[in-house]
Amino acid sequence: MEAFYKESGAIKKEAWEFIQAPVGLPKNPATWDSEYTEVAAPNKQPGGIISVLETVLADFSKMEAETKSQDAVDQKEFEDAIKANSIEKARRTQESNMKSAEKERRVAKIASLESTKKDTSSELEKTEQYLVDLKPACVNGDSSYDDRKAARAKEIKALGNAQGILADAFKEDKKAKFLQAHSVSRHQ
């Protein structure tokens, strides 16, 4: 572990650890035979390291410009999406509020109609009970319809005769007779 951390620089090395082991080189290495020349080879860049750096700089500038452009486009799309979503959210919130209010109105109307139905059902029940109570007297009574009709006609005729008698009673020639008939019926 100590060796790893000394290699990474996390632990300070001792002075003697900086000494490198000697490397054995041949007396005349092949690369020392000639000087450096800039030869355009298929795997080398023409112009050396400067041309490589210029190409990398150009590529980096192009990539930076494309990234900034894409960032601007993405920011615009984001803002448009946020605006559209805000409008849609407001519309849906309003729609939700309207539907909630409609639901409250309908629930209140249902409660009102149920109350009215309860009252009407109660009245119907009372009416049906009244019809049941009237059935013995009107349908199954002591007389039939024809008997009651005849009795009513007889009563109307008797009332008509009584009205005629009363109308004649106050005439001069019949007044004495009416009064006499009245006194006779008292003594009997």
pLDDT by residue (tens digit) across 80-101?
A: 999 999 999 999 999 999 999 9
Alpha-carbon gap, residue 163 to 22, rounded angstroms: 162
Q: How many domains does the chain have?
A: 2
- Kindly state whether residues 66 and 95 are assigned to the same domain: yes
Task: Confirm whether 99 is domain-assigned.
Answer: yes
Please write the tens of the pLDDT for every residue from 18-70: 666 676 766 766 665 556 555 555 555 456 677 888 899 999 999 999 999 99
Task: Confirm whether 1 is domain-assigned.
Answer: no
pLDDT at 151 over 70: yes
pLDDT band at residue 10 under the 50/70/90 scheme:
low
Note the pLDDT of residue 32: 55
- Kindly state whether residues 61 and 73 are assigned to the same domain: yes
Task: Confirm whether 10 is domain-assigned.
Answer: no
User: Domain residues for 69?
Assistant: 48-141
Q: Are 6 and 17 in contact (CB under 8 A)?
A: yes
- Kindly state whether residues 136 and 156 are assigned to the same domain: no
pLDDT at 188 over 50: no
- Kindly state whether residues 133 and 170 are assigned to the same domain: no
Q: What does the radius of gyration of the chain's CA atoms come to, in whole angstroms? A: 63
What lies within 8 Å, CB to CB, of 45 at 6+ separation is 51, 52, 55
- Kindly state whether residues 173 and 98 are assigned to the same domain: no
Task: Confirm whether 9 is domain-assigned.
Answer: no
- Kindly state whether residues 96 and 169 are assigned to the same domain: no
Note the pLDDT of residue 5: 63
What is the percentage of the chain residues whose pLDDT exceeds 90?
46
- Kindly state whether residues 76 and 136 are assigned to the same domain: yes
pLDDT band at residue 148 under the 50/70/90 scheme:
confident
Average pLDDT over residues 98-106: 97
Task: Confirm whether 11 is domain-assigned.
Answer: no
Q: Is the pTM of this model over 0.75?
A: no
Polymer length of the chain: 188
Instruction: Tell me which residue of 169, 187, 171 sits closest to 179, measured CA to CA.
Output: 169
Note the pLDDT of residue 34: 59
- Kindly state whether residues 56 and 132 are assigned to the same domain: yes
Average pLDDT over residues 99-111: 96
Task: Confirm whether 153 is domain-assigned.
Answer: yes
What single-letter DSSP state applies at residue 188?
-
For 1, what's the count of Cα atoms within 13 Å in the CB-facing half-sphere? 0
What lies within 8 Å, CB to CB, of 174 at 6+ separation is 168
Please identify, among 107, 126, 141, the residue that sits at the C-terminal boundary of a domain: 141
